[in-house]
Structure 1
Amino acid sequence: MTAARTHRIIRICERQGIPVLADRAYMGAGPWVTTPLRRPPGRDLTPTQQTVNRALSAARAPVERGVAQLKSWRIFRKARCSPNRMSSIAAAVLTPGDCKTFGVTPDHGRCIDDQ
């Protein structure tokens, strides 16, 4: 949350019309940030609310795995170059795997038909 505030990431996404999916740490960060629904005191979530939370978790999972993978690489733990350069390296590393995993063509962002 501190990094998002420091670098104004949420504000930038809002201006650009990019939706933000986040975990519970970002609750209250603003109307543009979608976080899991909390269980009301003394009550359970409805089946619909549980489905919404599961869908949000499923949408966030690939990003979480990508970040975890990057954190495990020494180049990202011991980097001594500009953050802009590291962003380019991260994009280059994640793109091929993401395209394969999600069936997306890197040039057009369209799904690849397996049939």
Structure 2
Amino acid sequence: TAARIHALPALYKAAAGGLPTLADKGYIGAGIGILLPVRRPKGQSEQALDADTRTTNSLIRGIRALGERAAAELKQRWRTLQHITISPSRIGDIARAALVLNGIWK
């Protein structure tokens, strides 16, 4: 509910500008520009989906995994980010610096 109220309206604006957002299956029905995997039919295996849909699901999960991994590294390796109390406008600079030091951001 919080994401639908606060985050999704900003993501719709980005999607209208050509920047899609990747999400997990919990965001079904989120709206325009939110790309998420297709659910398999209830009671059936993933093989029940056609090859194109399985490939799309795999690509979406793979790309999301990179972002999830980067976030996990930031949380674990850079303990300061877990207890940060500075202005939200400055956290982006610190996160980018940490990613550069981790070799993720070029």
TM-score range, shorter chain: 0.7 to 0.9
Question: 1:3 and 1:30 mapped to 2: Cα distance?
Answer: 12
Question: 2:104 and 2:81 mapped to 1: Cα distance?
Answer: 18
Question: 2:2 and 2:10 mapped to 1: Cα distance?
Answer: 10
CA RMSD of aligned residues (A): 2.2
Deviation at 1:42, TM superposition (A): 4.7
- Specify every segment of 5 or more residues in structure 2 that has no aligned partner in the other structure, as ranges: none
- Contact between 1:21 and 1:56, CA under 8 Å: does it hold in 2? yes
Question: 2:12 and 2:32 mapped to 1: Cα distance?
Answer: 11
Match of 1:90 in 2: 95
Q: How does 1:38-49 map to 2 (within 5 A)?
A: 38-43=39-44, 44-49=48-53
- Contact between 1:20 and 1:32, CA under 8 Å: does it hold in 2? yes
Residues 57-115 of structure 1, C-alpha deviation per residue, up to 9 Å, x if partnerless? 1111111101111122321111110111111111122246225xxxxxx4xxxxxxxxx
Q: How does 1:1-115 map to 2 (within 5 A)?
A: 2-3=2-3, 5-7=5-7, 8-43=9-44, 44-72=48-76, 73-95=78-100, 97-99=103-105, 106=106
- Specify every segment of 5 or more residues in structure 1 that has no aligned partner in the other structure, as ranges: 100-105, 107-115
Deviation at 1:15, TM superposition (A): 3.9
Residues 22-55 of structure 1, C-alpha deviation per residue, up to 9 Å, x if partnerless? 1112221112100001112355212221111111
**TM-score scaled to structure 2, two decimals?**
0.77
State the identity as a percent.
35
Deviation at 1:18, TM superposition (A): 1.0
**TM-score scaled to structure 1, two decimals?**
0.72
